[in-house]
Amino acid sequence: MMKTAVFLCSCLATSPVMLAAQAALPVFTHADTIRGSNTPQRAWWDVAFYNLHVKVNPADSSISGYNAITYRVLKPAPAREMQIDLQMPLVVDSIVQDGLELSARRDGNAFFVTLIAPQKRGTRKTIAVYYHGKPIVATHAPWDGGFVWARDSLKRDWVVTANEGLGASAWWPNKDIYSDEPDSQRIAITVPDSLLDASNGRLRHTTRNADGTTMYEWFVRNPINNYDVAVNAGHYAHFGDVYQGEKGELTLDFYPLDYHVDTARKQFQQVKPMLQCFESWFGPFPWYEDGYKLIETPHLGMEHQSAVAYGNHYMNGYLGRDRSQTGRGLLWDFIIIHESAHEWFGNSITMKDAADMWIHESFATYAEGLYTECQQGKKAGAEYTIGQRKLIRNDVPIIGVYGMNHEGSGDMYDKGGNLLHTIRQLVDDDARWRGILRGLGKTFWHQTVTTKQIEDYISRGSGMDLSKVFDEYLRTTKIPKLEYKIEGQELSYRWSNVVPGFAMPVKVTTSTGTYSWIKPTETWKTTLIHLARPEEFRVDENFYVNAKDLLKPAPDSTTVRKGS
Q: What is the pTM of this model?
A: 0.94
Alpha-carbon span 371 to 477, nearest angstrom? 28
Q: Where does residue 66 fall: left (phi above 0), alpha (psi -120 to 50 degrees), or beta otherwise?
A: beta
Looking at residue 23, what is its pLDDT?
53
CB neighbour class for 142 (10 Å; exposed up to 12, middle 13-18, buried from 19): buried
Is 359 in contact with 345 (CB distance < 8 Å)? yes
Residues 109-134: tens digit of each pLDDT: 999 999 999 999 999 999 999 999 99
Whether the predicted pLDDT of 441 surpasses 80: yes
**pLDDT tens track for 187-215:** 999 999 999 999 999 999 999 999 999 99
Above 80 in pLDDT, residue 467? yes
439 vs 140: CA distance, rounded Å? 37
CA 163 to centroid of chain Cα atoms: 12
Residue 24 above 70 pLDDT?
Answer: no
Whether the pLDDT of residue 157 is over 70: the answer is yes
Query: Which is nearest to 175 in space by CA: 309, 68, 14, 47?
Result: 47
Average pLDDT over residues 243-270: 98
Alpha-carbon span 36 to 487, nearest angstrom: 55
Of 217-221, 397-401, 555-559, the one with minimum mean pLDDT is 555-559
Q: Could you tell me the strand order of the sheet in which 81-85 lies?
A: 81-85, 110-114, 104-107
Q: What is the pLDDT of residue 15?
A: 32
Q: Measure CA 456 to chain center.
A: 20
pLDDT in tens, 346-367: 999 999 999 999 999 999 999 9
Write down the mean pLDDT value for the chain: 94
In this prediction, residues 272-299 reach a mean pLDDT of 98
- What's the pLDDT at 513? 87
Whether residue 556 has pLDDT greater than 80? no
Residue 312 has phi, psi (to 5 degrees) of -90, 15
